[in-house]
Amino acid sequence: MADDPIRLELQLRDGTPVVVRPLQPSDRELVAEAYRQLSPEARYQRFWSHTGEMIGAGMIDRLVRQDPASPVSWVVLDRTRPFPGLGGGSWWLESSASGLVEMSAVVLDSEQGRGIGTLLLAVLWLTALQAGAREMVGYVLPDNHQASRWLRDCGASGTWDGYKSCFRWDLRDLDALPATPAAADLAGWLAELSPVLMVD
Ligand SMILES: CC(C)(COP(=O)(O)OP(=O)(O)OC[C@H]1O[C@@H](n2cnc3c(N)ncnc32)[C@H](O)[C@@H]1OP(=O)(O)O)[C@@H](O)C(=O)NCCC(=O)NCCS
């Protein structure tokens, strides 16, 4: 995994060819433009701050500067489009003692509901597992019903901490995935991508 940049050539369920790869330092403009294209609601739901159309340089740094041997920020691209970005997702270590990572993802508003978020979730799941994580959590604002439903449908168990909803998975327990279309999609991607992303 450390030698060549990872580049997954995949197809969305509707047959659209996409490239999934880690963000890299040359992606600063891609990230800034994707941020600009998000609706204010999607921006706030992902980044939890009202910054207008401009993403801060520090946030871009966090997303694009990463260890090529263990990338945590990923992007889904449609290379046939003038602007190829469709969505992105990341995970961060919350507690090394408990093996807990936090994940977050965002998909351009016009591209939501096509399975891009679930594909990103599978990539985050496997790369976190490969890096030694045992549990993954996603935090969602209380009025973000769409993301809450998606995370629950993808098998996360939800709790409320008085401020935000917390959706948690045991990354080693695929039997806990429910019988929903989103979880079936997720299981399909996990099966397809684990030989590529889970390496010794
Ligand atoms: C939350 C978010 C990332 C989900 O991304 P997405 O690409 O829309 O997710 P998917 O398309 O994989 O799944 C969403 C739903 O579409 C369905 N779906 C997936 N592929 C589909 C397809 N080809 N046709 C129709 N429906 C489809 C899924 O079953 C799922 O249904 P559910 O919500 O009832 O469970 C996206 O809505 C988003 O960016 N929201 C704003 C940011 C945000 O809230 N981030 C916090 C997440 S931690």
Interval 4-41: pLDDT, tens: 679 999 999 999 999 999 999 999 999 999 999 999 99
153 lines ligand 1 (CB under 6 A): yes
Nearest CA to ligand 1 atom 22: 114
Please indicate, yes or no, if residue 2 is contained in any of the structural domains. no
Q: pLDDT tens across 61-87, in order? A: 999 999 988 999 999 999 999 999 999
107 lines ligand 1 (CB under 6 A): yes
What's the domain count of the chain? 1
Please indicate, yes or no, if residue 113 is contained in any of the structural domains. yes
45 lines ligand 1 (CB under 6 A): yes
Q: Which domain holds residue 184?
A: 8-197
Q: Is the pLDDT of residue 200 over 80?
A: no
Please indicate, yes or no, if residue 184 is contained in any of the structural domains. yes
Least confident window among 40-44, 52-56, 172-176, 186-190: 52-56
Domain of residue 18, CATH code: 3.40.630.30
Please indicate, yes or no, if residue 3 is contained in any of the structural domains. no
Please indicate, yes or no, if residue 23 is contained in any of the structural domains. yes
User: Closest Cα partner for 28 from 68, 72, 59?
Assistant: 59
Q: How far is the CA of 118 from the centre of ligand 1 (A)?
A: 7
Please indicate, yes or no, if residue 161 is contained in any of the structural domains. yes
Please indicate, yes or no, if residue 1 is contained in any of the structural domains. no
146 lines ligand 1 (CB under 6 A): yes
* Predicted local confidence at residue 50, as pLDDT: 81
Q: How far is the CA of 182 from the centre of ligand 1 (A)?
A: 8
Q: Is the pLDDT of residue 60 over 90?
A: yes
* Predicted local confidence at residue 168, as pLDDT: 97
Please indicate, yes or no, if residue 121 is contained in any of the structural domains. yes
Which atom belonging to ligand 1 lies closest to the Cα atom of 13?
23
Q: Are 191 and 181 spatial neighbours (Cβ–Cβ below 8 Å)? A: no
75 lines ligand 1 (CB under 6 A): no
